[in-house]
Chain A
Amino acid sequence: MIELKGKRVLVIGERDGVSGPAIEVCVRSAGAQVLYAETLCFV
């Protein structure tokens, strides 16, 4: 079981899945730091 608190996160979201900003707000809430964030769009 990995704990997000204290982790440094690369956020790779996807437009029709979970977007980058949505992942960011979630992992920050759990105490992680965000090093990098993007949302991919495959089309």
Chain B
Amino acid sequence: MSFPAITAVANVLAHAPGLVRYGSKPLRDIGQDPAVLEAITPRLRSYADAVAYAPNQVFIGNLDPEMLGAVPRPWFRALDGTASSTGAFGDLIGECELLGLLKLCDRARLVHLDAATLAEARAGLARRGIVTPDEMAALAAADAGAINAIGKSGEAIPLWLDGRVVGAMSRGHEQDEALTANVLLENLAAKATGVLAVRRLLRMVERRLGPGDIDFVLAGSEEAVGDRYQRGGGGLAKAIAESCGITAATGFDVKAFCASTLYAVVNAAALIQAGLFSRVVVVAGGSLAKLGMKYRAHVARQMPILEDMLAGIAILVERPGARGSDPSARGSDPSARGSDPSARGSDPVIRLDTLGLHTIATGSAQQAIVEALVITPLAKAGYRLRDVDRYATEMHNPEVTEPSGSGDVPRGNYRLIAALGALRGELPRDGIDAFIAAHGMPGYAPTQGHIASAVCYLAHALRAMRAGQIRRALFMAKGSLFLGRMTDASDGVSFILEI
């Protein structure tokens, strides 16, 4: 049986220190006590420091996750000044460029930016090959007086860059709570980082594919696009596709809390397997709401505000054989495909026949969940725990989460998998740490929810599989459904990716 393949993945980051004040936790706390902003501001990182930060370098593909263990903690002190903002998987853009992308993605005339910022953004984005000069030239700058007036009117929120107000984000409606300036900024930030990821993805495959070759787009992020009658009823898939010239496609959004993006990949593969489409792009933009989420602990420990990054991912899922006879489709080393002579080729496939599904009957017991997402799919595929080279779980950067008492989230998840292996007799009880060292990885993703939930490892897995370093990885994402107060159930999904 053949399955759809993942053929390209882009991982992107946008430095957004000026937007930290609009993150959900900072915004609420600043609203109660303006002194909070004075505590946050000196702790915000420079762009250079964000680029030089090892977990960010892992995210954009200039370092392997496995190498992060060799970088001494605290990572925010072990900065590498030679690190590049151009990653193997995508860019880490600066805040000026992000503001330019917000303006580019703005179809409702809500974003106002001054001329200097727009010019600098245009230059930066053009240098990176993310925009055309024409499309940026079509954007109109706002003059400083107008920005000042809008910002003071109560109808907009200011946009900051390097400590100065350089623009404003207007609300979309006088009364609609779903169209406030803050909500629209959150949604536009997700759109813009999604666009950044998809444009990078298209550049990766431009030798053989154009935007017009994409049949369908699925978005899976965590914002709520809508208006007062349908607060979360809309989505970003077509908005992002439109901004990337993917005009032959239609699409929709998948919503499942942090499992959204992984579910979207499953959905993309299923649509291809059913014969509807040949090439589907899955995209996830970043979460503005989660900026500065754990700022209190970072400020208390005189750490930089590490949650200053918006993340984006774009994944190309293709029908097997959609590549045709393109010589670039062949792996560089046929022997790296393993001992199976009928090897699938140079792209790993999604095992749709062995999905991990957290049904309602699974319930909330930890053992039942790990069985549903790990053991059952592996057993169905005829594999044992050790047959999977890497497990991608909730890959949140522990340097962000540990200070606030949330622990090392990937490690906690690896311990659950390994402990179940021990209970089942697949590993000795004292073999848990060794299993984690061999099959797990340090966390490196910004705490951007759905992005950290397994999908941030797809790009690395693709590279490692093509290079013959690993054969098989299991991706598992959890969605905290109970947070919406409609159920106390949790959720999750998983699949095996193998070459």
Contact = CB atoms under 8 A, between A and B. Distances in A.
Q: Answer whether A and B touch in the complex at a CB cut-off of 8 Å.
A: yes
Interface of A: 15-22, 37-39, 41-43
Contact of B452 (A15, A16, A19, A43): A43
A39 B480 contact: yes
Contact of A43 (B406, B482, B488, B490): B406
A1 B409 CA distance: 32
Nearest to A16: B412
A42 B488 contact: no
A27 to B, nearest CB: 14
Interface string B368-383: 0000000000000000
A39 B413 CA distance: 16
B404 interface: yes
A43 B364 contact: no
Contacts of B478: 15
Contacts of B407: 16, 42
Nearest to B448: A43
Nearest to A23: B364
Given A21-B363, A21-B364, A41 B409 contact: no
Given A16-B416, A19-B490, A42-B406, 7 more contacts: A16-B409, A16-B412, A37-B488, A39-B364, A39-B490, A43-B401, A43-B449
B366 A41 contact: no
Nearest to B409: A43
Interface in B406-424: 406-407, 409, 412-413, 416
Contacts of B409: 16, 42-43
Nearest to A41: B480
Given A39-B482, A42-B406, A43-B406, A22 B365 contact: yes
11 contacts: A16-B394, A16-B413, A16-B416, A19-B365, A20-B364, A20-B488, A21-B488, A21-B489, A22-B364, A22-B365, A39-B490
Contacts of A39: 364, 480, 482, 488, 490
Contacts, number: 50
A21 B452 CA distance: 25
A37 B489 CA distance: 12
Contacts of B489: 21
- A38, A39, A42: most-surrounded residue (chain B CB, <10 A): A42
B200 interface: no
Chain A binding surface, main DSSP class: loop
Given A15-B480, A20-B482, A21-B488, A43 B363 contact: no
A29 to B, nearest CB: 13
A20 B401 CA distance: 21
Given A39-B480, A41-B480, A15 B488 contact: no
A41 B394 contact: no
Nearest to B445: A43
B351 interface: no
A40 to B, nearest CB: 9
B483 interface: yes
Shortest 3 CB-CB contacts between residues of A and residues of B: A42-B406, A21-B364, A41-B480
A42 B366 contact: no
Contacts of B7: none
B289 to A, nearest CB: 12
Contacts of B483: 41
A15 B490 contact: yes
Interface string B443-486: 00001010010000000000000000000000000101011000
